[in-house]
Amino acid sequence: MVTGRYVAGRVAQYALVLLLALILNFIIPRVAPGDPLEGIVGESGALLPVEEQRAIITRLGLDQPLTVQFGRYARGLIQGDLGYSYNKGQPVREVIGDRLPFTLLLLGPAAVLSAVLGVMLGMRAAWRRGSATDIGLLGLVLGLDALPPFFLGTMLLVGFAVRLDLFPVVSSIPVGIGLLSLEGLGELVHRLALPFATLTLSGLGPYFLLTRSSMLGTLGEDHVLMARAKGCPAKQVVYRHGLRPALLPVATLFGLSMGFILGGSVVVETVFSYPGLGRLTYDAVLARDFPMLQGVFLVFTIAVIGANLLADLTHPLLDPRVRSAR
């Protein structure tokens, strides 16, 4: 099947991305200035007694040739070994496993909502091009886009948590929160609201701008003129003839912008002290905890690949040419 071949091509490319990420993770600490042990074990590694350093070097095989080291590294990864965080005193995989659900909980809905909002607003702006709505939205989005996410987050925090006292200043999630009860869910939403709003607002700009310009393109095409001439209702023209073909680049953007949204989550989780991967990254940066940073980078890479695959799968749905093309 043609769609199958299309998807296979994309998967091959993402395998290359993953390979590049692995190679970078392997090479970066080994070409870093200073003690190689420091790069692999973290800054605390250099503080250990000499015998213990030797023991770690032998155990990790750091005295072996690079090719042998890479083989060990790859074998470990396949078995799910992401290294050990001496800073946390725990395997990296365990720490990431604990934090990942929180980030997914915050990021997934925010990514989807910012895409939906951006597309809806962009569509409206394109349809009413040059109107007060269009210019107002354009100005608003350009302004929103210029706000660094951590600054937007801090301002929302100051306004709604510190001044108005509507939301908690620290968005940590209590361990015993009962998610099955209505009360527990309400509490969760209450605590997530501000970081969620920050991520959604700072993510929708690119969707708005791309949908707007992409739709301005399709609305100028002959098939739209034809649809209007034969008397299609305006709504149908906008959605079926204007928006659908305009969504192709938007779907690609969803995959590509996932990296930026993940980057945003690092700073936003830091501002709100939210116990996800982003805050973990910040702590790891402060502690120079390299194994942890590399583990997070790998997980983020896999997340971006997942989002890109999802975007690729929507392409045949949106564009019949992809379905029939060889």
Partner 1 sequence: MTPLVGSPPIIEDSELAATSARRGTAQAVFRLIRGSRPGLAGLFILTLFGLAAIAAPVLAPYDPKDQVAAPFSSPGGDHLLGTNDIGQDILSELIFGARISLGVALLVATLATILAGIVGLIAGYFHGWVASGVMRFVDVVLVLPFLPLMLVVATVFGPGVRTQILVIGLLLWARPARVVRAATLAVRTAGHIEAAVWMGATAPYILRRHVLPRITPVIIAEFVRAANIAILIEAALAFLGLGDPVAKSWGTMLHYAQARAAFLTGAWLYWVLPAGLCITAVVLGFALLGFALEQGSDPRLRKRGWLGTA
Contacts with partner 1, residue ranges (CB under 8 A): 13-14, 16-17, 20-21, 24-25, 28-29, 32-33, 39, 129-130, 135, 138, 142-143, 145-151, 154-155, 157-158, 162, 169, 213, 216-217, 220, 255-256, 258-260, 262-263, 266-267, 270-271, 281-282, 284-286, 288, 290, 293-294, 296-297, 300-301, 303-305, 308
Q: Is 204 or 258 the residue whose CB approaches partner 1 more closely? A: 258
Q: How far is CA 299 from CA 24, 77, 291, in A?
A: 14, 12, 12
Q: Is 74 or 158 the residue whose CB approaches partner 1 more closely? A: 158
Q: Count CB-CB contacts under 10 A for residue 13.
A: 11
Q: Is 157 or 227 the residue whose CB approaches partner 1 more closely? A: 157
Residue 316 near residue 3, CB atoms below 8 Å: yes
- Give the integer Cα–Cα distance in Å for 247 and 229: 23
Closest approach of partner 1 to the CB of residue 324, in Å: 24
Q: Is 26 or 184 the residue whose CB approaches partner 1 more closely? A: 26
Q: Is 81 or 145 the residue whose CB approaches partner 1 more closely? A: 145
Closest approach of partner 1 to the CB of residue 206, in Å: 11
Closest approach of partner 1 to the CB of residue 175, in Å: 24
Of the candidates 277, 301, 322, 276, the one whose C-alpha atom is nearest the C-alpha of residue 18 is 301
- Give the integer Cα–Cα distance in Å for 176 and 295: 27
> What is 155-189 written as a DSSP string?
HHIIIIIIIS--S-SS----TT--TTSHHHHHHHH
With b for 16 or more beta-carbon neighbours within 10 A and e for fewer, the 180-215 pattern comes to eeeeeeebbeebbbbbbbbbbbbbbbbbbbbbbebb
- Give the integer Cα–Cα distance in Å for 223 and 308: 30
**84 beta partners:** 91
Closest approach of partner 1 to the CB of residue 216, in Å: 6
Element spanning 325, H or E? none
Closest approach of partner 1 to the CB of residue 180, in Å: 33
Q: Is 197 or 271 the residue whose CB approaches partner 1 more closely? A: 271
Token pair listed for 206? 């690119």
Closest approach of partner 1 to the CB of residue 147, in Å: 5
Closest approach of partner 1 to the CB of residue 94, in Å: 19
Q: Is 70 or 151 the residue whose CB approaches partner 1 more closely? A: 151
Q: Is 14 or 102 the residue whose CB approaches partner 1 more closely? A: 14
Strand, helix or coil for residue 232:
coil
With b for 16 or more beta-carbon neighbours within 10 A and e for fewer, the 56-65 pattern comes to bbeebebeee
Closest approach of partner 1 to the CB of residue 179, in Å: 28
